[in-house]
Amino acid sequence: MSNIEIVKAFLDGMQKPISQVPDHLRAFLTEDAEWGNSGFPPAVGIEDIVGKHEASRQVFGDYVMDIDLLNIAADGDVVFTERVDVGRTQAGEEILTVPVVGVFVVRDGRIARWTDYFDPAGLLKNLATFPDVEAYFTGKSAAS
């Protein structure tokens, strides 16, 4: 598979209930992978990345991310994406919409770095209604 095909397959596989995403992450990411979201500390290592996704389930429920891939390009091991990510409840209710530019670094057929750059307005609009959002982004509970 080309690096573009790897990233497309990765994004396609992310479009399932978040409870099913951990196995998908483990299949596509390197053990030492980094996942960054603009403005927030990165998750480092596969288990930290899986943990952040599991925490998002606690915040948003067992949501599904619809990914509208607008553009994709590669230069060597680096793959750039332009997309719109729409989180929905399994009943179809929209809970967040985020235009994203994603940068992926592929190493030996797996994703070693995944960084999403986005305007957080679409995310923040709904975050205020969820408990303990600080824990999701920082790993620290607001109660501690």
Q: What is the pTM of this model?
A: 0.85
80-92 tens-digit pLDDT: 999 999 999 888 8
CATH number assigned to the domain comprising residue 59: 3.10.450.50
Domain, as residue range, for 45: 3-127
- Give the per-residue pLDDT at 74: 98
Q: Would you mind telling me the total number of residues written for the chain in this entry?
A: 144
Residue 32 lies in a domain: yes
Tokens of 108: 């030996």
Domain count, the chain: 1
Residue 22 lies in a domain: yes
- Please state, in angstroms and rounded to a whole number, the distance separating the CA atoms of residues 141 and 121: 23
- Give the per-residue pLDDT at 58: 79
The enclosing H or E element of 48 equals: helix 46-60
In this prediction, residue 100 has a pLDDT band, given cuts at 50, 70 and 90, of very high
In this prediction, residue 57 has a pLDDT band, given cuts at 50, 70 and 90, of confident
Whether the pLDDT of residue 124 is over 80: the answer is: no
Written as one string, the DSSP assignment of 59-86 is HH-S-EEEEEEEEEEEETTEEEEEEEEE
Average pLDDT over residues 134-142: 57
Phi, psi torsion values for 137, nearest 5 degrees: -85, -30
Residue 137 lies in a domain: no
Q: 């998908």: which residue's tokens?
A: 24
